[in-house]
Copies of this chain bind each other. A is one copy, B any other.
Amino acid sequence: MIVLFTDFGLQGPYVGQVKARLLAEAPGVPIVDLFSDAPARDARSAAYLLAAYMAEFPSDSVFLSVVDPGVGGDRPALVVRADGRWFVGPDNGLFELILRRARDVPRVWEISWRPERLSASFHGRDLFAPVAARLALGEPPSGEERPAEEGRHLDWPDDLARIVYIDIFGNAISGIRASVLDQDTELRVGNSRLKRVETFTRVAQGRPFWYENANGLAEIAVNMGNASEIIGLRVGSEIAIGGRGKITDSE
């Protein structure tokens, strides 16, 4: 299975062009759109999202992961092997949390292969898609292995106390794994102090709260309402983590 995780947008031709390339090079391999609207040009936010959402996919899934503001520059292109899955994309921190949280020994290759025709602006189609297709067919990564410790972003926190994605209902997903927070931890965003609940239906309509979403991240929501509009949240908004009276700084 090839899983697309990009900021290419749903509109326009980009995702379709990538799929056409994948279908041509790896016929019959199923393709799934995970995110087409990952945080645009924001590799750090995207890194926390990818690490949380990749876990449910089958072993040997190939994640074509492109949030790539540096396209056309000289950032390397990578293949990563971690937790039994493949990741293909730019070397800009997008795989930092995958590497950091891997339960096996992760491996990293720099892709040296270049296609005959490489556009300056669309490596997702021209470079990353053919590489992902070949991995999906069981071929080994083309390129030179490098130490998994190289080019890391060790200054990034283990959990990012910021909003990393706002969904179509206005729910605001944070970069914090709910499992690192106590049951009675409050989250503070803007002027709001939010308690944890188990499910939407246990909260009065219109009241903001946070909960562990279906992929293990702390998510801010309002029952039958748009949390992001009500509280005033966007990707990047800071979250302060409290609990038993204590509020710690975000990040």
Contact = CB atoms under 8 A, between A and B. Distances in A.
**Majority DSSP secondary structure for residues of A touching B:** loop
A12 B120 CA distance: 27
A41 interface: yes
B72 A122 contact: no
A3 to B, nearest CB: 7
A240 interface: no
Contacts of A122: 213-214
A119 interface: yes
Contacts of A17: 34, 53, 56
Interface in A7-50: 8-17, 19-20, 23-24, 27, 30, 32-37, 40-41
B200 A121 contact: yes
Contact of A13 (B12, B53, B58, B125): B53
B20 A165 contact: no
The size bracket of the interface on A is: 35 or more
Contact of A56 (B20, B199, B211): B20
A76 interface: no
Given A72-B199, A119-B214, 5 more contacts: A10-B11, A13-B53, A20-B34, A119-B213, A120-B214
Q: Which 10 A-B pairs have the closest CB atoms?
A: A72-B199, A9-B168, A122-B214, A119-B214, A73-B201, A120-B199, A16-B33, A12-B167, A16-B34, A11-B168
Interface of A: 1, 3-4, 8-17, 19-20, 23-24, 27, 30, 32-37, 40-41, 53, 56-58, 69-73, 119-122, 125-126, 165, 167-169, 198-202, 211, 213-215, 224
